[in-house]
Structure formats: C-alpha cells, structure tokens
Amino acid sequence: MYRFYIKSTMVNDMKPTKLDDYRFNPKRVAKGMWGDDCSAIKTTRPRASFYDCAGHGGYVVDPRVLTNEEKKNINKDIKPEKLYLCVQHREDGDYVMATDYRHVITSWEVGKAPRSPTCRVDRSLGSVEWIEFPVYVFEEDVDYSILEHHTDITLKEFEHDPIQKKKTEETYKNWIDDKR
C-alpha cells in the first residue's frame, strides 16, 4: 500500500480538479526522467508530448489519449510509469488534490532522500486516498519506436516523411528481435 499523510483542516495549495478533467504536467515528468532544460517539440496528437532535455529526451503520453487497442499493443512491449494522485472522494465526484511525481524522477541529489508525500485537504469534504495514475514514457533512442509503431503519433516534422517512418519500423523490428 502506498503511504500517505493527510494534514487535516489545512487549505490545499493545489486547486481541486475533477479526476476526469485532471491533466498532469508532462514537462515535469520529462525533467524528472531526462534532466532540466527541456524543449517541447510538436507531435501529431494532443497530450502526447515530446521533450528534448539536457540529458536525453522522448515522448510523455497521457494514457487517456490512446485507444484501448493502442494501449493493449503498447503494454505488450512496455509498461507505463506511475504518478500518484491524492484524490478526495466528495459527494459531487472525485477530485485530484495533489500529484506526486517522485516515482518518475530517476535521480536524487546525493544525501537527500525523498520526503513522504503530503496532501493537504479539508477532511470534512470526503475521504482521501493516493491512487496510481499511469503515464507512458518512451525515450528517444529506441522506445519511441514502440509508440510510433502502435499508433499514428509522431513528431509533426516527420508526419509525412516515409524515410523516417521506415527508420522507425526498422528500429522497432531490431528492438523486438533483441528482446526475443
């Protein structure tokens, strides 16, 4: 079970957002995975983001923009990373009160362990729990080919480039061959 602390009767510094309307910060995920100084590059599908960061780069994709078939095929090759959302169950629905990005951060400052997450809420409005929220991450060297093979998502600049499509398919085939 995921550990959490709730500070009751404190006003939350994140605006409560209906769970169905919630959007995580893909740039924050990219920075956690690949380092600071990230630049976004346009893709062919909204909420499927590509970042070129100081240390590396790749796609960060909200699973809600993928079809069930796309997710099924992608999950055969790669599993999503996990964010944790502090969700309050209120009479009028479930609200995201905070997001814990720590599990997608690949490196910590030496000597500084991550703190336990906190979620400040008014407990009188409903019960609270931390839930897992999947986020697909595809690094730019090889994993990008998994996403591009199973979907129509690509960088806008390569949308109509048959040479890039062929390169992507070759990269995917080599990855599958190496995996077996």
Query: What is the DSSP-derived secondary structure letter of residue 142?
Result: T
Per run of 10 residues, the mean pLDDT along the chain (length 180 residues) is 35 73 92 91 97 94 98 96 91 92 58 59 90 94 96 97 96 86
pTM: 0.84
The reported pLDDT for the residue numbered 110 is 40
Q: Which of 75, 123, 121 is nearest to 97 (CA)?
A: 121
HSE value, Cβ hemisphere, 13 Å, CA-based, for 60:
26
The reported pLDDT for the residue numbered 115 is 54
What are the structural domain ranges in the chain? 5-139
The reported pLDDT for the residue numbered 134 is 95
Task: For residues 89 and 87, give the distance between their C-alpha atoms in angstroms, rounded to a whole number.
Answer: 6
Q: Is 135 strand, coil or helix?
A: strand
